[in-house]
């Protein structure tokens, strides 16, 4: 069964430092997508970054980068130069692969990691 595991319930980082949030996944699909979302206390899930299973290079979006290690089935999020506004819950998610016309592309989420940035 497909599963996302985030083993860090909470993380602290000093402002302006880099932080890595861990994510491991389990799937038997060859084609899949990995996502990171940020959820502030307001509740809205904000898309941060995407990595496809066949992408050879790690995805980057501004201060966010995804450290994709396919053999280890890990997709860690790296936030560089942390800002106070980065304090939020972060979710790793996987989109199931294509299985014919019945594929929904539903997202499977991990339990999340709470990040607190200290001034």
Partner 1 sequence: DAGVTQSPTHLIKTRGQHVTLRCSPISGHKSVSWYQQVLGQGPQFIFQYYEKEERGRGNFPDRFSARQFPNYSSELNVNALLLGDSALYLCASSARGFQETQYFGPGTRLLVL
Give residues in contact with partner 1 (CB under 8 A): 4, 33, 35, 37, 42-47, 50, 91, 93, 98, 102-112
64 close to 49: Cβ distance less than 8 angstroms: yes
Rounded to 5°, angle at Cα 60 from 99 and 44 = 70
Task: Tell me the sheet residues that pair with 14.
Answer: 118
CB of 14 to partner 1, least distance (A): 26
Residue 41 or 71: the one with the smaller Cβ distance to partner 1 is: 41
For residues 58 and 89, give the distance between their C-alpha atoms in angstroms, rounded to a whole number: 22
CB of 4 to partner 1, least distance (A): 8
Residue 19 or 33: the one with the smaller Cβ distance to partner 1 is: 33
């Amino acid at each position: 069964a497909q599963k996302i595991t985030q083993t860090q319930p909470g993380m602290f980082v000093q402002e302006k430092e880099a932080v890595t949030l861990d994510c491991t996944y389990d799937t038997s699909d060859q084609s899949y997508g990995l996502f990171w979302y940020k959820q502030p206390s307001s509740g809205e899930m904000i898309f941060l970054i995407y990595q496809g299973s066949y992408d050879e290079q790690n995805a980057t979006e501004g201060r966010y980068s995804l450290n994709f290690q396919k053999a280890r089935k890990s997709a860690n999020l790296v936030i560089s130069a942390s800002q106070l506004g980065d304090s939020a819950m972060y979710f790793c998610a996987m989109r199931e692969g294509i299985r014919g016309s019945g594929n929904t592309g539903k997202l499977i989420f991990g339990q999340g990691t709470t990040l607190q940035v200290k001034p």
